[in-house]
Amino acid sequence: MTVLAAVEGAGAERVLVLHGWALDSGVWLAARALTDMARFTYAYLDFPGYGVNKDEPSAQGIDGMAWAALAAAESLGWDRFSVLGHSMGGAAAMRVATLAPKRIASVAALTPVSPGGTPLDAATYAVFKAAWADPAGAIKGALSPDIDPVSLANLVKRNRASMTQSVWNDYLANWTSPSFMAELAVCTMPVTLFVGSSDPFVTETYLAETVKALPNGKLATIAGAGHYPQIEQTAATVAAWEAALSA
């Protein structure tokens, strides 16, 4: 059974937190020190195959990830909550909202991948798959060109501690293949998509169709950040998502 990595805070506003592809809920460690735990209760999930759930088989597709997230909320007895997701987890957060729209108060997605999928040709897909051998190069070169060396080194160490190469491969398939763009019409709750100003991958252009498909969608930019705004501009990013979740 998938378990939660951490539950923090005592606030009335409940938030289920979903991580991205390259590492588990450890991606939120810096941000967790700055969250408003009097106002919010945060529950941090490691997807099956990651972190505290490393012994579980990988979730099947973005739907499997969303159902794992909903099961985590059920385990807490949460009937209504918000969802915060990063990258792959941002798409999963939107999928949760389409599967249980009446239960979701709001969604905040940091540098989310597209709900319509990210079709990659065979050569590009092979490059992403091979990035397991050099995650630092992939992060610095394609995702966060201005990330500082210490943060980059920590990301790589947590990557190696939190997952295996087979999980890397499984979730690459998961995040590149969603196909629920048309279902976003049921997401009438506030949904805020954040891009990093220096992220070369998830850009305003990349997310334009997603914002258009959301009835109450909004696009915002985190200045001075690439693909990991919660690490690169931690205080500004926490403030931005907490404002969005309370919109």
The domain that holds 149 is classified in CATH as 3.40.50.1820
Average pLDDT over residues 5-24: 97
Over residues 57-73, mean pLDDT = 98
Query: β-strands 81-86, 104-110: how paired?
Result: parallel
CB 63 within 8 A of CB 73: no
CB atoms within 10 A of CB 76: 14
Decide if pLDDT at 138 tops 90. no
Contact between residue 233 and residue 198 where contact means Cβ atoms under 8 Å apart: no
Per-residue pLDDT band at 173 (split at 50, 70, 90): very high
pLDDT tens track for 83-125: 999 999 999 999 999 999 999 999 999 999 999 999 999 999 9
In this predicted structure, the answer to whether residue 247 has a pLDDT above a threshold of 80 is: no
- Express each pLDDT in 179-222 by its tens digit: 999 999 999 999 999 999 999 999 999 999 999 999 999 999 99
142: pLDDT confidence band, cut at 50, 70 and 90? confident
Tell me the CA distances in angstroms from 206 to 45, 99, 144, 234, one per residue in order. Answer: 26, 23, 16, 23
Whole-angstrom Cα distance, residue 94 to residue 193?
10
**Residue 150 pLDDT > 90:** yes
Q: What is the domain range of residue 228?
A: 4-245
As for how many domains the chain has, the answer is: 1
